[in-house]
């Protein structure tokens, strides 16, 4: 059971006038753990890690422009370069000069670009259920299908949203997804439903543009140049960013440690938080003992 409660967002006007929802919690004088989300969940996806680390770390995060509690992009730009500039703007606003940066899903790509932009401000990387870039390229022919699907979803979302809401009040669909192996049987169903309810209310035109940005982006060229330690966490059931991406990152990032959680899906953080925390603790002890 998590004690997490979603904090009120702290507004931050980014470089182009777009207002971002940002979050700061935990120990005010602690080392910084900067959490960078995926598209499939807000700060609540990290709740078990926040519960565990809030007495040790100063925890900072934000919602991507157009997602959850952040404003739609003023200039209509949802590119990876813009998400990176937003992340650095958050670091600037909170005076973050030395952080462990942790990304999930698309957040892994953003983390890599943040490292490219301000490597001197990064102490370590934790890359969870993500890819270094172009995650759909591993499935030939899927990219145009995904693009068409996202476009259709953006068009029909206002109609489908009221129809979907009743399904977000029951765990039956989750039990089916667990039974067929799409999700781990250890998934916290209540937490997942909380995430799904927020996800269902998204602006899916902005979501489509964010997905388009991530599937066409690559930070592959930066991997060998990363000099800080990196913990890479993969899920054996992850169909969105298969473990092959994590293995490649672990092979090419000089100080990388790879952990494969065989039964975890793309939502490992709400399926196996205890396992993730145990590996984070070992990673900090071995590579960042000063934390």
77-130 pLDDT, tens digit per residue, is 999 999 999 999 999 999 999 999 999 999 999 999 999 999 999 999 999 999
What domains appear along the chain, each with residue ranges and CATH number? 10-287 (3.40.50.1820)
| Owner of token pair 């940066």 | 101
Instruction: Tell me the chain's radius of gyration from C-alpha atoms.
Output: 18
3-state secondary structure of 127: strand
Token pair, residue 286, equals: 């071995």
Burial of 252 (0-12, 13-18, 19+ CB in 10 A): middle
* Burial class (CB within 10 angstroms; exposed 0-12, middle 13-18, buried 19+) of 189: middle
The mean pLDDT value for 51-70 works out to 97
Q: Is a pLDDT exceeding 80 seen at residue 241?
A: yes
Q: Kindly state the percentage of the chain with pLDDT values over 90.
A: 79
Q: Are 83 and 100 in contact (CB under 8 A)?
A: no
Q: Is residue 238 over pLDDT 80?
A: yes
Q: What is the pLDDT at residue 29? A: 96
**CA pair distance 4, 10, nearest whole angstrom:** 17
- CB contact set of 225 (below 8 Å; sequence gap of 6+): none
| 186-227 pLDDT, tens digit each | 999 999 999 999 999 999 999 999 999 999 999 999 999 999
Residue 42: which residues within 8 A CB-CB, separation 6 or more? 6, 63, 67, 68, 69, 195, 198
Is it the case that residue 138 has pLDDT exceeding 80?
Answer: no
Residue 195 sits at φ, ψ, to 5 deg, of: -65, -40
Distance CA 81, CA 130 (A): 17
CB 14 within 8 Å of CB 85? yes
Angle at 64 between CA 112 and CA 18, to 5 degrees: 120
At 176 the pLDDT is 83
Arithmetic mean of pLDDT over the chain: 93
Q: What is the mean pLDDT of residues 55-73?
A: 98
pLDDT of residue 145: 76
What is the phi/psi pair of residue 214, to 5°? -70, -35
Most confident segment among 17-21, 160-164, 188-192: 17-21
116 vs 113: CA distance, rounded Å: 5
Position 144 confidence tier, pLDDT thresholds 50, 70, 90: confident
| Residues with Cβ within 8 Å of residue 224, at least 6 apart in sequence | 252, 253, 254
The confidence band for 69, taking pLDDT boundaries of 50, 70 and 90, is very high
Q: What is the mean pLDDT of residues 162-181?
A: 82
Residue 153 has pLDDT above 80, yes or no: no
* Across 268-283, average pLDDT: 97
Rounded average pLDDT over 136-158: 79
């Amino acid at each position: 059971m998590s004690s997490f409660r979603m904090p009120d967002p702290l507004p931050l006007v980014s470089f182009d006038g777009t207002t971002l929802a940002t979050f700061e919690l935990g120990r005010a004088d602690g080392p910084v753990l900067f959490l960078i989300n995926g598209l499939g969940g807000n700060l609540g996806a990290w709740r078990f890690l926040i519960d565990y680390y809030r007495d040790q770390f100063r925890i900072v995060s934000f919602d991507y422009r157009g997602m959850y509690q952040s404003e739609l992009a003023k200039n209509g730009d949802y590119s990876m370069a813009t998400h990176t500039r937003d992340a650095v703007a958050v670091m600037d606003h909170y005076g973050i000069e030395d952080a462990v940066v942790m990304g999930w899903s698309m957040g892994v790509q953003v983390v890599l670009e943040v490292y490219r932009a301000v490597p001197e401000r990064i102490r370590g990387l934790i890359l969870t259920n993500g890819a270094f870039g172009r995650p759909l390229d591993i499935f030939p022919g899927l990219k145009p299908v995904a693009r068409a699907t996202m476009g259709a979803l953006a068009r029909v979302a206002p109609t489908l949203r009221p129809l979907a809401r009743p399904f977000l009040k029951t765990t039956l669909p989750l039990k089916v997804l667990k039974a067929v192996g799409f999700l781990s049987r250890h998934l916290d169903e209540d937490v997942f439903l909380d995430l799904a309810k927020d996800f269902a209310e998204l602006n899916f035109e902005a979501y489509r543009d964010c997905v388009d940005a991530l599937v066409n982006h690559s930070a592959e060229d930066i991997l060998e140049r990363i000099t800080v330690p990196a913990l890479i966490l993969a899920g054996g059931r992850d169909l969105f960013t298969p473990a092959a991406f994590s293995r490649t990152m672990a092979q090419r990032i000089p100080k990388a440690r790879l952990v494969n959680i065989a039964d975890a899906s793309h939502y490992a953080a709400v399926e196996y938080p205890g396992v993730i925390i145990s590996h984070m603790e070992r990673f900090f002890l071995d590579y960042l003992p000063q934390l």
